Amino acid sequence: MATTLAARIVPIPSSGLRLVERNFLVYRRSWLVFVSGFFEPVFYLLSIGVGVAALVGDFTLAGGTVVSYTAFVAPAMLASSAMNGAIFDSTYNIFFKMKYLHLYDAILATPMRPWNVATGEITWALLRGACYSAAFIVVMLVMGLIDSWWALLALPVSVLIAFAFAAAGMALTTFMRSWQDFEFVQVSIMPMFLFSATFYPVETYPTAVQWIVEATPLYQGVALIRALTTGSVGWHLLIHVAYLAAMGGIGLYVASRRLGRLLLK
């Protein structure tokens, strides 16, 4: 008796997992939307990677490996879909929950803290992204687009990409004033999707443009996954990992600080 009472009065140590559970319960009712998210990158892969591939021919990678155009595009689709899913979850969804549902106000009235909210939402985004990525990797395997056992690491790496974008997206969302501001999200995501060595090698661009492309986070992810699925692996890949991990870490810190400032007044 005494223990149950104590558990009610004294704030129990909680974690973001409660929020993950809440999101899971909500999504159970719209599972079709969840499942259909898998098809988007697959459609792109089939159209560009198979249809347009017949017009393009094979590509020679920087390391000298020759790959089919489909095998060149597929890892980029995997990285892009990790980015897109994470951004969608961490921007539009978070903004809606924050401004319209006032969900976080309610959550912060419980023992949960802004840090729990930030980690909980991001964990959810990552779990969801991991499902899509795993399914996509299976599609790549079935289509014969994977040349190396290193591809096993493509799943954790897509989760890392999702982490970087989800955390940064959530941090930026805390600065948004209205839906109009989401134009900026579109303006940065769209060019990254199209120009981050997704559809053709970065060497195509003039040197100055190459530098700009290589500085973008999506390029880091594409280069990393492409190296893994084509089997041209080296220590330099750790630089990409460090870049994405730093982006995610900083994003997470800023997001939880800002949530605290916005909601606990």
Partner 1 sequence: MSLAWDNGVRQFDYWAKVYQRTWKGSLISSFLVPLLYLAAMGVGLGTFVDGSGTNALGGVSYLQFLAPGLLAATGLQIAVSEATYPVMGGIKWHKTYFSMIATPLRSADVMYGQLGFIAFRVVSSCAVFLGVIALFGGLGSPLGLLGLPIALLVGMAVAAPVCAAATRLETDAGFAMIFRFGVLPMSLFSGAFFPVSQLPDAVEWLAYVAPLWHGVELTRDLSLGTFSLLPAIINVAYLLLWFAVGTRLAVTGLEKRLIS
| Alpha-helix residue ranges (DSSP H) falling in the chain | 2-9, 17-27, 31-36, 39-44, 53-56, 69-88, 94-99, 103-108, 114-142, 154-173, 183-195, 207-215, 217-230, 237-263
Question: Interacting stretch for partner 1, rule CB under 8 A, among 8-16, 192-200, 234-242, 249-257?
Answer: 192-200
The residues near 72 (Cβ < 8 Å, ≥ 6 apart) are 59, 61, 201, 226
30 versus 110: smaller Cβ distance to partner 1: 30
DSSP 5-59: HHHHHSPPP--THHHHHHHHHHHGGGHHHHHHTTHHHHHHIIIIIIIIHHHH--E
**Does 44 interact with partner 1 (rule: CB under 8 A)?**
yes
**Does 37 interact with partner 1 (rule: CB under 8 A)?**
yes
Question: Interacting stretch for partner 1, rule CB under 8 A, among 56-64, 107-115, 134-142, 212-220?
Answer: 56-64
**Does 63 interact with partner 1 (rule: CB under 8 A)?**
no
**Does 144 interact with partner 1 (rule: CB under 8 A)?**
no
CA atoms within 13 A on the CB side of 50: 11
Binding-site size for partner 1 (CB under 8 A) equals 31
The residues near 110 (Cβ < 8 Å, ≥ 6 apart) are 14
Question: Interacting stretch for partner 1, rule CB under 8 A, among 2-10, 54-62, 139-147, 169-177?
Answer: 54-62
87 versus 107: smaller Cβ distance to partner 1: 87
Q: Please report the sign of the dihedral spanned by the C-alpha atoms of residue 74, residue 223, residue 52, residue 32.
A: positive
Question: Interacting stretch for partner 1, rule CB under 8 A, among 60-68, 94-102, 182-190, 238-246?
Answer: 182-190
* Coil, strand or helix at 185: helix
**Does 139 interact with partner 1 (rule: CB under 8 A)?**
no
**Does 57 interact with partner 1 (rule: CB under 8 A)?**
yes
For partner 1, the binding residue among 9, 54, 109, 208 (CB under 8 A) is 54
Instruction: Give contact residues for partner 1 (rule: CB under 8 A).
Output: 30, 32-33, 36-37, 39-40, 43-44, 46-48, 51-52, 54-57, 59, 179-180, 183, 186-187, 190-191, 194-195, 199-200, 204
